[in-house]
Amino acid sequence: MNWLRPTERPDSPAGLAYGGDYNPEQWDPAVWTEDVRLMREAGVTLVTVGVFSWAQLQPEPDRWEFDWLDRVMDLLADGGIAVDLATATASVPNWLAAQDPSVLAVDRHGSRVAQGGRQAWSPSSRTYRRHSIELVERMAERYGDHPALALWHVSNELGGHNSRCYGDESARAFRIWVRERYADSLDALNRAWGTAVWSQRYRSWEEIEPPRATFTGPNPSLELDFARFSSDQLRDQLRAERAVLRARTPDVPITTNFIMFDAGKNMAYSTWIDDVDVVASDHYLGEGRDAFAETDFSADRSRGLAAGAPWMLMETAPNGTSWRRINPSKRRGQLRRDALSHVARGADAVCFFQWRAARSGAERFHSAMLPHAGVDSDVFRDVVALGADLRSISPVAGSRVRPDAALVLDEASWWAFEGGDHPRNDLRLMDAALPWHRVLTELGLTIDVVPPSADLAPYRLVVAPQLYLVSDEHADRLSAAAHAGAVVVIGAFSGVVDELDRVRPGGFAGAFHELLGIRVEDVWPVRDDESFRVAGDGWSGTARTWAEVVRLDGAVAVAIATDGDLQGMPVATRRSVSAGAAWYVSAWLDDAGLRGVLIRAAAEAGATAPVRDDQRLRVTTRAAGDTEYHFLINHSESAASVRGDGTDLLDGSTHTERIVVPGGAVRVIEGRLTRARIEAPSA
């Protein structure tokens, strides 16, 4: 963990970090000593402290109380447990909200959010910024030299609840932002936003307001720029806190925790990565059939944002959560599989929310490493066992995942795609992207989920399941990858609008017409009660939800609709491009259809995969030099195997030629696996 500051203690954390959020302010100090003892028993090496402690640190405007935190930091240092110290700016104390209500956010309808939840502050509030920076300065001054300090944790899940504020403070800041973006030219702004529509032309900057509630949908270009602005406001808070910490503690790494699903879609994390020393993410297992696919996707996106470097799983649940419609407990072995799935995909730290289950408050039924039932519980026994597992596989720390392909995801396109006034207004980006990622993963490939600004040169296979909005620069990057030899596969309703959500001329998919050798003449939203069959070379599938009217212009059809209104119309196309190829999939296909297309694209790219007897066996490789570590995670109830040789770091067993993984089990093999080229089935 080269991003975790080493301490001078001989028992400072080594290998993979393990721990979670610790909230000692919620407990009588008599409990703290027991907490440290049990943390050591569980193998905890790192805890996050102080996330929601502003009111305890500053109970009144002119009174500060650090003695309790001093004692906690000292206890943890004495116990050999490193601290990821939060700046405590995540939620404002009641006195500040009462003293100046302008610190609170305002929703789209003009209602000020009440104090009493969490993260109620407005990212544009100057009062909040002033008070929060004073708090950070005091934290840095007091604990910058503390032996327990290993990492700074800026705020917490920035924007997780307050990503959009529509109040007067935000309006003021938004006007400043757009003046800078459009070089102080109202004419440029009016052209960019297309304000000739619906008589929306602006005469002065003061007329510009956030996209508050209206009878109809707001101007989509205004909405998109406001989303960019809102993300930038949160990033500015991160930068402001970082500047204080860097000035006082230049050698202590700084991070903040990203959210890859749910509210995390509201932040452009790809523009934040230069402001953190390590990418940290939170992931909570979702509901339904895609729960494990979401886990894999979240981890692959974390690694993609980290440009392949090791990253942190800052928060996950040891058991159930408490905010979803149904919050099921984890089945036997699931805690281990979930945690090691993240390590397999590049995490060098596994941390949970939280250490000790809360007795009160909104999260009192959220699971914890030390549950309400105490140490005599399956959850705590699993927590202790996981700590031992992480020590057993400590050699993997610092190694890097070997990816096979890239999946391109753009946050601005995500926002615009899910905006209103489209041919279908119920489309969700993850409904487009997750199936592609899942199918490729089931083929045995490891996927980096990267922004379009990433270097695509290392990848022979690049997929973009949904890129509705794309700039000329990013479109050129995908084209360059194909010309350089990659197989590029682009999904439906991509390349439709420019970076301001303005439709590109010449038909849909306008940004990619030349690359793909097609023209999308029209879109064809499919009714919920309809579908049509699709057939390619040796495969067939079903299309639902979305389709398009595609005309060939240099490409060849590799799959067509075989019934329905679009019968005979190309659904998947391919065009040779210099050393590579460009594919287009113009409909939302089921798994059989996606597999039919993607297995052929992967085969053309020369992709290889481990030789397995069950696609449900997840196989991911981390490597350091010539040493390879293979994570074999079996989510099924039946045994599965992969061809290879090596030693299991978890139980010490040795394997020759064939490695069997029992149902629900995990192996971490140091050795070699047999890989074979992916071959498309013959017709």
- For residue 487, the cross-strand partners are 461, 581
281: closest CA among 291, 293, 290, 269? 269
User: Rounded CA gap, 132 and 143, in Å?
Assistant: 16
Count Cα neighbours of 258 within 13 Å in the Cβ-side half-sphere.
30
User: Rounded CA gap, 151 and 242, in Å?
Assistant: 12
**Residues contacting 251, CB < 8 A, separation 6+:** 5
Count Cα neighbours of 521 within 13 Å in the Cβ-side half-sphere.
8
- For residue 661, the cross-strand partners are 640
Catalytic site residue 315?
yes
Handedness of CA 169, 171, 174, 176 (dihedral sign): negative
Rg of the chain over CA atoms, in angstroms? 26
100: closest CA among 118, 119, 64, 126? 126
Catalytic site residue 157?
yes
- Show the CA angle centred on residue 445, arms to residues 442 and 451, nearest 5°: 110
Q: What are the E-state strand segments in 329-482?
A: 347-352, 400-401, 405-408, 447-450, 461-464
User: Rounded CA gap, 74 and 81, in Å?
Assistant: 10
468: closest CA among 416, 406, 545? 416
How remote is the C-alpha of 160 from its chain's centroid? 12
Count Cα neighbours of 493 within 13 Å in the Cβ-side half-sphere.
24
Contact 64, 134 (CB under 8 A): no
Contact 568, 554 (CB under 8 A): no
User: Rounded CA gap, 388 and 623, in Å?
Assistant: 22
**Active-site residue identified among 169, 241, 294, 315:** 315
Q: Which residue bears the tokens 């005309």? A: 551
Residues marked as catalytic: 157, 315
